[in-house]
Structure 1
Amino acid sequence: SGALSLASGVLAALFARERTGKGQKVDASIYGTMIAMQGMEINYTSITGVEPERAGRGHQFLRGVWGAFPTSDGFICIAGVDEKRWPSFCKIVGIEHLEKDPEYSDNVVRNFHGEKIQKVLDEIFPKKSSKEWLKQLTDADILATEVVDYRTMLKSEQARINGYLLELDHPVAGKVLVSGTPITINGEVTTAAEAAPEHGQHTEEVLLELGYTWEEIGALRDSGAV
């Protein structure tokens, strides 16, 4: 998904180069992309204060040591465990006896048919807090992070500074945060969003730019054309 954002940014930069003759520096973020892809849910939570239900704990193809696992105080998400890190992972979670067990240790089984190892881990991870598990896992270079809800994410200073969350002064909802873009061009970060225009809000402005006179615009309105 991050690569798709980067590709979009590169296409925009190429278009700008064609128009201006100047090169552009493109940055894209996986974190920002994840926020942008959940824009509908994030904006809903921001405006209503209501947290939507979770869609699931992982991917339909990637199971085993992949996806979200409940801890004593929340959830953590693990992005798989490869062969190099598997021994360390087994030691951290206390399943050394399964390290070489073909029912659990083969990487293909763990990630694609891993219901057995998943059930084992579902009994182990709730014994400690998310913070405790993440400290041990990240120290062992295992890709893991805390699963946060949208209300927590809306408080992310990192997301706001990078323009992944934008301030919007909405005419009905008031001042709220909405999802932004994961792409920056030449380091220019947008921090505020504009409300979507009401129907016909810019009709006169556009017609004036196209060369219509006020008399002609009035005639168009009288005829029902605009």
Structure 2
Amino acid sequence: MEMPLGNMRGVRVIDFTHIVAGPVCTMTLADMGADVVKIEPLQGEPGRRIGPPWVNGESVIALSMNRNKKSLAVDLKTDDGVRAVRRMIQKADVVVESFRPGVMRKLRLDYESVRNENPEVVYCSISAFGQSGSFKDRPGVDGVMQAVSGLMSTLGEPASGPTKVQIPVADMVTGYLATISVLSALHQARDGRGGQHLDVSLFNATLMLQQIGYASYFATGHNAEKIGSAAPYAAPNEAFPTKDGWIMVAAYDPKRWLALCELLGVPDLASDPRFVSNEDRITHRASLRDVLGGHFETRPTGEWLELLSAKDILSAPVTTYSEVVASPAYRESGIESSFEHPIAGSVRIPGFVLGPSQRPVDRSNTPPPLVGEHTLDVLTEYGFEPCEVADLVEGGVVAQSPEARPGTDSGRSR
């Protein structure tokens, strides 16, 4: 069965994830057209309670990670709840979970427990340190991963304390790598080679994010130094203060380095023994920064951008989010996306963007679901009879959001 990227309609995903890493994976699958059912407790998953900021009481974390999904609110502490979800897994193509290792086994929903009933299922487990090893039971969130993976030790200025990437970059890269793993495993399953259990850890993903850093360490034996905005492998390739802001300049290519010296009116700088080669400039980076910084401070950023561009020297202003979203580059990128949420109202977010030839068939978004918004519809779609659904509701095993309209998929369609 052909499964082109960006058109995963018909692929059923059962989503047991929460907070960021797992939801990024399942949201990406949903963006590509998969039918994703978010399984969450009756009170909602923990990500719904993380903030500020809030939008009319709704967490921005949850709003930004859960578009294009349906929500089934079920109590997995009950046998009936576990049986209902396990029955759904029998008809699913993909299961993604992000509990601590061992939790799904206790619920009898782990890969070993469900694969006999669905040998084709692709089962992805996302955890802090993986499903095996001496660290497997240790919890971990994005900041912990940035610290323990070495990433935090590389960030900031030379004299600064530990610095964190403000966005949850460890979580995000884990979610995207998990998506790649799922797509690969789905290809294998559709090729008749059966399903498999994928073990994706935040630790490994954050190490993979630092391929160049670790390759440099293995080559030299030296830990990375904190160098602020600079690149450890090239100079000049960093941000410099201007008359009215900051500008990022990448002029380490020999031709661009010569052009920069000419532009600044200091052609002799190119023949200075400290700065002749890229390696020389890296060795004497601090001196180079002082010299170049003095020149860049003489003009405003806009003037420098025009002058540098005319010489084909790579540069960009250091911009804030408000400046980015007001820029032509953002407007023309196609990434602007929004949805109407029944509580939060109109919400803007960066959307799902591939190259024009690879965009999903349907670019519209459904908003992140309310807790249990699709409970009745999902159970019906997965083959539960009306009397079975009624029993689950009456027994308090599942719950439907009061804002949902039964039988209409909450009035939303993709």
TM-score, length basis structure 2: 0.39
Q: Do the aligned partners of residues 15 and 194 (structure 1) sit closer, same or farther apart at CA in structure 2, a change above 3 Å counting?
A: closer
1:86 corresponds to: 257
The 5 Å alignment of 1:9-88 reads 13=4, 58-59=229-230, 61-62=232-233, 64-88=235-259
| Higher RCO (Cα < 8 Å, 6 or more apart) | 1
User: For the Cα contact (< 8 Å) 1:80–1:111, is it kept in 2?
Assistant: no
- CA deviations on 1:94-152 (whole Å, 9 max, x unpaired) are 32232111212221232465221112122211110112111111111111122221011
2:338 corresponds to: 167
- CA deviations on 1:165-196 (whole Å, 9 max, x unpaired) are 21232444432321122314636477654321
1:186 corresponds to: 357
User: For the Cα contact (< 8 Å) 1:61–1:112, is it kept in 2?
Assistant: no
Does the alignment pair 1:198 with 2:370?
yes
Does the alignment pair 1:106 with 2:246?
no
User: For the Cα contact (< 8 Å) 2:337–2:351, is it kept in 1?
Assistant: yes
User: For the Cα contact (< 8 Å) 2:251–2:260, is it kept in 1?
Assistant: no
1:127 corresponds to: 298
Cα distance in structure 2, aligned partners of 1:160 and 1:181: 14
Report the Cα offset of residue 54 of structure 1.
9.1
User: For the Cα contact (< 8 Å) 2:339–2:348, is it kept in 1?
Assistant: yes
- Structure showing the higher helix proportion among its residues: 1
Q: Do the aligned partners of residues 162 and 137 (structure 1) sit closer, same or farther apart at CA in structure 2, a change above 3 Å counting?
A: closer
Aligned residue pairs: how many? 186
Aligned to 1:175, what secondary structure does the other structure show? strand
Q: Do the aligned partners of residues 191 and 94 (structure 1) sit closer, same or farther apart at CA in structure 2, a change above 3 Å counting?
A: farther
Report the Cα offset of residue 80 of structure 1.
3.4
Q: Do the aligned partners of residues 110 and 182 (structure 1) sit closer, same or farther apart at CA in structure 2, a change above 3 Å counting?
A: farther
Corresponding letter in the other structure for 1:214: P
1:3 corresponds to: none
Stretch deviating more after TM superposition (213-222 or 159-168): 159-168
Q: Do the aligned partners of residues 108 and 168 (structure 1) sit closer, same or farther apart at CA in structure 2, a change above 3 Å counting?
A: farther
Stretch deviating more after TM superposition (174-183 or 55-64): 55-64
Residue 222 of structure 1, aligned match among 382, 394, 406 = 394
Cα distance in structure 2, aligned partners of 1:182 and 1:15: 10
TM-score, length basis structure 1: 0.67
Q: Do the aligned partners of residues 187 and 15 (structure 1) sit closer, same or farther apart at CA in structure 2, a change above 3 Å counting?
A: closer
Q: Which runs of 5+ in 1 are unaligned?
A: 1-11, 20-43, 48-52
